[in-house]
């Protein structure tokens, strides 16, 4: 067991998962507080590091690519203050931070956890319904539909398009860019059925971000959407093939082997119990066989 408590929160590692509880100090990022408690399974981790400075240090968790829908949505580009996988460490707790890192690394080594990308999300992502107000809009997501409502900062031509509502099923991608230099950032929902090439300032499928304290809240909306989309690294589903006929298509002969039919019924029952046949498939096959009696 390893645990470290700082202003930004408390991290606890029990050998199987890292529990991250955000701090309650008013200086803690609103995004961290909105994310709430996280339970990061060992299988989702790729490593841990501690960067020591003269007066303080920084503890970091590194997750496997594709393990977390939040990091998938933002491409790993959350600002440090809003990143739940970073913890500022005071000078008198540096030794504890180094011990924490050693415990995580040893567990990864002993369990043989690979550092390769994941083919499915190992964290659930933000729960829904979810709403965030930041940048030039309020974005809401109920698990099926995304809603963008504009505020006084929205550019007039974009606002004139009115409130936008579109289905999760129509979203092909989620794009995120954090403001850098003189450039604003954005959260964009790419909808193939309604392609738009305008900059985020004019794009009714985008929320423009200015780098303010609450702007990272928009990343949670993006993560909630990403968590409910197909994983980008998921293996393709096998092509559907025609199921073999359960009974011969031809009419049964006049003389029917009843023992063979009873044996076939037992076999169908076993296939149903093993989950190979659905209840509907079993019922249909059973009726077809009974017609031969």
Place of tokens 């309604």: 194
The C-alpha atoms of residue 77 and residue 46 are separated, in whole angstroms, by 17
Q: Is 28 exposed, middle or buried (0-12, 13-18, 19+ CB in 10 A)?
A: middle
Question: Which pLDDT belongs to residue 291?
Answer: 61
The C-alpha atoms of residue 85 and residue 46 are separated, in whole angstroms, by 12
pLDDT digits (tens, 9 = 90+) for 7-61: 999 999 999 999 999 998 888 999 999 999 999 999 999 999 999 888 889 999 9
* Residue 199 scores a pLDDT above 80: yes
**Tokens linked to 187:** 């959260």
**10 and 21 Cβ atoms separated by less than 8 Å:** yes
* Residue 96 scores a pLDDT above 80: yes
Strand order in the sheet with 171-177: 171-177, 185-191, 206-209
């Amino acid at each position: 067991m390893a645990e470290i408590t700082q202003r930004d929160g408390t991290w606890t590692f029990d050998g199987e998962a890292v529990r991250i509880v955000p701090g309650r100090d008013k200086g803690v990022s609103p995004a961290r507080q909105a994310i709430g408690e996280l339970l990061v399974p060992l299988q989702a981790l790729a490593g841990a590091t501690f960067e020591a400075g003269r007066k303080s240090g920084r503890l970091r968790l590194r997750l496997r690519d594709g393990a977390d829908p939040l990091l998938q949505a933002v491409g790993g580009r959350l600002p440090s203050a809003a990143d739940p996988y970073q913890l500022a460490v005071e000078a008198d707790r540096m030794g504890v931070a180094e011990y924490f890192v050693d415990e995580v690394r040893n567990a990864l080594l002993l369990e043989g956890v690979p550092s390769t990308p994941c083919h499915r999300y190992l964290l659930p992502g933000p729960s829904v319904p979810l709403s965030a107000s930041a940048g030039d809009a309020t974005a809401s997501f109920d698990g099926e539909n995304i809603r963008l409502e504009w505020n006084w900062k929205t550019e007039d031509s974009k606002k004139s398009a009115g409130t936008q509502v579109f289905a999760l099923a129509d979203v092909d991608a989620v794009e995120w860019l954090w403001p850098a230099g003189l450039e604003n950032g954005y959260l964009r929902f790419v909808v193939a059925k309604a392609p738009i090439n305008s900059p985020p300032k004019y794009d009714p499928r985008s929320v423009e971000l200015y780098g303010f304290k609450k702007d990272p809240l928009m990343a949670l909306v993006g993560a909630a959407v990403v968590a409910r989309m197909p994983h980008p690294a998921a293996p393709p589903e096998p092509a559907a093939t025609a199921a073999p006929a359960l009974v011969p298509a031809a009419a049964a002969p006049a003389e029917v082997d009843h023992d063979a039919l009873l044996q076939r019924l037992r076999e169908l029952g076993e296939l149903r119990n093993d989950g190979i046949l659905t209840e509907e498939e079993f019922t249909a096959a059973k009726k077809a066989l009974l017609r031969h009696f």
